[in-house]
Amino acid sequence: MTGASSGIGAEYAAQLARRGWSLVLVARRAERLAGLSAALGKTTAVETVVADLAHPPDLARVAERVAGDGVDLLVNNAGINGYGPFAEVDPGLLTKVLDVNVVAPTVLTRAAVPQMVARGHGSVVNVASLLAFAGSLPPGPLPHRAVYGGSKGYLVTFTRTLAAELAHTPVRVQVVCPGLTATEFHLSGGEAPVPGEARVHNEGGMPPAEVVAASLASLESGQVVCLPGLSDAEAERRLASAELGLRDRSRPAVAATRRPRPTHPGDQR
């Protein structure tokens, strides 16, 4: 599990430990991981890996661990926001957002899935955001989020498409899209982790325990897209239907696109 040192990640660790899972916890902050390991290690086996997933050697080291034996559930939770007006945010921070939010979950999922398919069981959970669906909405009250929203949109599309690809296998894939959650996520843009003890940003939001409980329940039921707190059960179906409508209506007429086949090589253009 990545991003395990606070917030949603720490809550996944706690709830999975209560269900009897052994844990491999990955995060940047060694002291936070040590505290979490000490607390959860009283009831289950805990392995910790200190790593910055924006750092290629660290990502490679974590991918090697994920590809090994015994990883039955991969939770790609690590994420940073890089919020700010696109023309003003440091380009290096935006690159880091893509490394952590897009490259890392893709690499780790690729490391995990072949072993899961071979063993005949396994699951991957990718933590995205409701902001994946907020592309056309302007900032205020939403944050400036062009790259962050794009990265989470990638996770939604990646997960849904991969789930369809793996539908004939016993491997389950889920993307969970929480809205505002009561964690420390908004206290840093991602340049560096939040120092000190775990805190909660002033904006509040849904308790992380509810987000994780919804995710795990949806995973057990085979739901690919989990939207914690969503009261309209048909919303996802309507989204899929709208997408199908867009694809069906965007196909040009066959007659208009078909070109005559050349009768011999000299006729080719």
pLDDT at 260 over 70: no
The pLDDT of residue 170 is 96
The topology under which CATH files domain 7-234 is: Rossmann fold (3.40.50)
Query: Could you tell me which residue, 36 or 251, shows the higher pLDDT?
Result: 36
Residue percentage of the chain with pLDDT more than 90: 77
Average pLDDT over residues 17-43: 97
pLDDT at 120 over 70: yes
pTM over 0.85: yes
Per the annotation, the verdict on 148 as an active-site residue is yes
Average pLDDT over residues 11-37: 97
Q: For residue 27, list its beta bridge partners.
A: 50
Alpha helices in 201-234 (DSSP H): 208-221
Query: Could you tell me which residue, 263 or 230, shows the higher pLDDT?
Result: 230
Q: CA 83, 85, 86, 89: dihedral to nearest 10 degrees?
A: -70
pLDDT at 265 over 80: no
The pLDDT of residue 264 is 54
* Mean pLDDT, rounded, of the chain: 92
H helix or E strand, kind and range, residue 40:
helix 30-40
The pLDDT of residue 43 is 95
Average pLDDT over residues 142-171: 97
Neighbours of 194 (CB within 10 A): 19
**58-71 confidence digits (pLDDT tens):** 999 999 999 998 89
Burial of 184 by CB count in 10 Å (0-12 exposed, 13-18 middle, 19+ buried)?
middle
The pLDDT of residue 255 is 47
Q: For residue 225, list its beta bridge partners.
A: 175
Active-site hit among 12, 83, 148, 154: 148
The pLDDT of residue 66 is 98
Q: How far is residue 103's CA from residue 109's CA, in Å, rounded to a whole number?
A: 10
Find the distance separating the first CA and the last CA of the chain, reported in whole Å: 54
The confidence band for 269, taking pLDDT boundaries of 50, 70 and 90, is very low
- Give domain limits for the chain: 7-234
